[in-house]
Amino acid sequence: MENRAGARPPLSLVTAGQTAEVLGLVERPAALLTSAEQTRAAAFRRAGDRDDFVAAHVLARICAGQRLGVDPAALTVVQHCATCGGPHGQPSLREAPDLAISLAHTRGQVAAAAGVGRVGVDIEALTAEPLDDGLVAMALTAGEAAEVRAAALPRHAFLRYWVAKESLVKVGVATLDELRGIDLAGRFTAAGDAVVASHAGLRMALWSDADTLVGYAGTEAAEYVPARSLTAAPA
């Protein structure tokens, strides 16, 4: 599909929001999903987890539709695991394979990204839970861990590194077992409403508000638009 405006925007689009507000952007949101996606959604035992899954897959279509200038209902998200052949793994668009997409969800919140090249997105809630020492040991370098433990809000500081590194996993430049080999300490600098860095030739960015942290990695630089500011109509 071609952008109706005739020119490709220079930035990847990243968006995130509450599950309920994303589901409210379209009528019958589950109807946008393929039968494979609906089957995966139905497998969740908790209604909230099921809603998060549906909202993330809907938001991926809305995000891509904004980037392409098309109706998100016309976009089909497909996933195919290269290892087991199952309907999961890196998502793509059947109608626009040259536009990369990524999606993520945590309890009550979802995120999506769309851009040319490679994109990865992750989202975490900023809660008052204690720092998980096991995750620190698994995911952070010694320098990152020292910085996190010295922070006023250690878990929040940890999640900044976590969503950044998870976005790199989504892009495919790392696995969960390799997170300690990626050192991002001191790499992020303020840029507008985000903090940004680069790694392995990719642009990275973090956006946060009072209760949410969103991480992005991709070929292009990115702009962030809250889901509540988007519509399901093509731009």
Note the pLDDT of residue 173: 93
DSSP state, residue 70: S
Tokens of 115: 């851009």
Does the residue 137 lie in any domain? no
Bridge partners, residue 109, by sequence: 18, 106
3 state DSSP class of 232: coil
**Residue 99 is part of which domain span?**
10-117+220-235
Confidence of residue 3 (pLDDT cuts 50, 70, 90): very low
**Tell me, what amino acid is at 78?**
V
Does the residue 88 lie in any domain? yes
The number of folded domains in the chain is 1
Does the residue 14 lie in any domain? yes
Question: 207-217: per-residue pLDDT in tens?
Answer: 999 899 999 99
Does the residue 232 lie in any domain? yes
Using the predicted structure, report yes or no on whether residue 117 has a pLDDT greater than 70. yes
Using the predicted structure, report yes or no on whether residue 92 has a pLDDT greater than 70. yes
CATH assignment at residue 30 = 3.90.470.20
Which residue, chain included where needed, has tokens 């976590």? Answer: 162
Whole-structure pTM value: 0.92
What value does the mean pLDDT take over residues 18-34? 96
Does the residue 5 lie in any domain? no
Does the residue 26 lie in any domain? yes
